[in-house]
């Protein structure tokens, strides 16, 4: 038997057949793997496009569906990648069950290291289910205030007024101040040089505020109005005006009110300090 084995191993024909079998097996494995990759890429593209197409029309009318769209796309991507990984292993001839068994044994060890990831995913799920955040909301999380641009399984994206994008892990989101659920009430201070015309200036402020409120319904939550005098000196008087609008509109409405008041006060001979 040993002599036969030695003769076989030193046979040129044997090694040629062995090389041909291995090359053939490798080629078939590569072809199958390429097929899996192509199917995965095509399937992922088509399913995500279909999902975005189906939810896109509803999402344009509802920020709730727009928020869920980001979560569904993220979930679908993870599931497809898992299926691809399993099929890729099978395509190259590797047995899947040993990996599954190893994953079960190593799962406990990995679980301790993946606690943060699990926490992020679970927190993101409840943030969406409880409607704490929605895409398009203006929120304050910690020291960051911005617009929610995307909510995924693991992270939430915020964009502040300067255009900076913040990626916040869902598990790190604690107290959330949602500024979009109600209109914000703010104030605007202006100073005039005619301290003897405070009452006239107050009437102009109220009239101008009513005109802006009525000319563009929905721009202000309520008409801007004179509140009172916050500072008074021999040279000027500082008047405070209440202004209420949606968070996204507040900066624009404040500038609009300031410009309108400057014009209205100037027409009545009252100069700003």
State the pLDDT confidence band at 239, using cuts at 50, 70 and 90.
very high
Please, where are the H alpha helices in 60-161?
63-91, 96-113, 115-129
Q: At what angle do helices 63-91 and 12-59 cross, to 10 degrees?
A: 170
Q: Where are the domains of the chain?
A: 2-113, 121-178, 184-267
Using one digit for the tens of pLDDT, what is the confidence trace for 107-158? Answer: 555 555 567 777 877 887 778 777 788 888 888 888 888 888 888 778 889 9
Burial 52-76, CB ≥16 within 10 A → b, else e: eeebeeebeeebebbbbbbbbbbee
Domain range 121-178, CATH class: mainly beta
The predicted structure's pLDDT at residue 45: 78
State the pLDDT confidence band at 183, using cuts at 50, 70 and 90.
confident
Using one digit for the tens of pLDDT, what is the confidence trace for 1-28? Answer: 445 455 545 556 655 665 566 666 666 7
The answer, yes or no, to whether residue 55 has pLDDT greater than 80, is no
The predicted structure's pLDDT at residue 100: 57
Looking at CATH, the fold of the domain delimited by 184-267 is given as Alpha-Beta Plaits (3.30.70)
The answer, yes or no, to whether residue 94 has pLDDT greater than 70, is no
Question: Tokens standing for 105?
Answer: 């044994």
Q: Which pTM was predicted?
A: 0.50
Query: Residue 193: CB partners within 8 Å, gap ≥ 6?
Result: 235, 236, 270, 271, 272, 273
Only one residue has tokens 């869920």, namely 68
The predicted structure's pLDDT at residue 251: 84
State the pLDDT confidence band at 165, using cuts at 50, 70 and 90.
very high
Residue 216, classed as helix, strand or coil, is coil
State the pLDDT confidence band at 206, using cuts at 50, 70 and 90.
very high
Residue 90 burial by Cβ neighbours in a 10 Å radius (0-12, 13-18, 19+): middle
The predicted structure's pLDDT at residue 227: 92
Residue 114, classed as helix, strand or coil, is coil
Question: Tokens standing for 97?
Answer: 């069950």
């Amino acid at each position: 038997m040993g002599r036969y084995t030695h003769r076989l191993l030193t046979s040129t024909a044997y090694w040629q057949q062995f090389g041909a079998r291995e090359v053939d097996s490798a080629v078939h494995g590569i072809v199958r793997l390429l097929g899996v990759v192509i199917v995965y890429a095509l399937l992922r593209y088509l399913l995500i496009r279909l999902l975005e197409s189906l939810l896109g029309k509803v999402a344009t009318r509802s920020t709730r569906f727009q928020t869920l769209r980001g979560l569904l796309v993220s979930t679908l991507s993870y599931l497809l990648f898992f299926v691809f990984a399993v099929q890729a292993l099978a395509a190259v001839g590797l047995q899947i069950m040993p990996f599954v068994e190893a994953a079960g044994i190593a799962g406990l060890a990995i679980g301790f290291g993946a606690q943060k990831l699990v926490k992020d995913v679970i927190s993101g799920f409840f943030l969406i289910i409880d409607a704490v955040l929605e895409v398009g909301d203006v929120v304050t999380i910690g020291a960051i205030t911005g617009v929610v641009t995307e909510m995924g399984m693991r992270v939430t994206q915020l964009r502040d007024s300067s255009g900076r994008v913040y990626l916040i892990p869902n598990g790190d989101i604690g107290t959330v101040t949602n500024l979009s659920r109600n209109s914000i009430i703010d104030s605007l201070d202006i100073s005039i040089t005619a301290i003897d015309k405070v009452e006239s200036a107050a009437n102009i402020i109220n009239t101008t505020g009513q005109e802006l409120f009525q000319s563009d319904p929905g721009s202000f939550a309520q008409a801007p109005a004179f509140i009172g005098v916050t500072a008074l000196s021999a040279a000027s008087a500082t008047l405070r005006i209440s202004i209420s609008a949606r968070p996204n509109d507040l900066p624009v409405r404040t500038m609009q009110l300031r410009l309108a008041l400057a014009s209205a006060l100037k027409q009545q001979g009252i100069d700003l300090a």
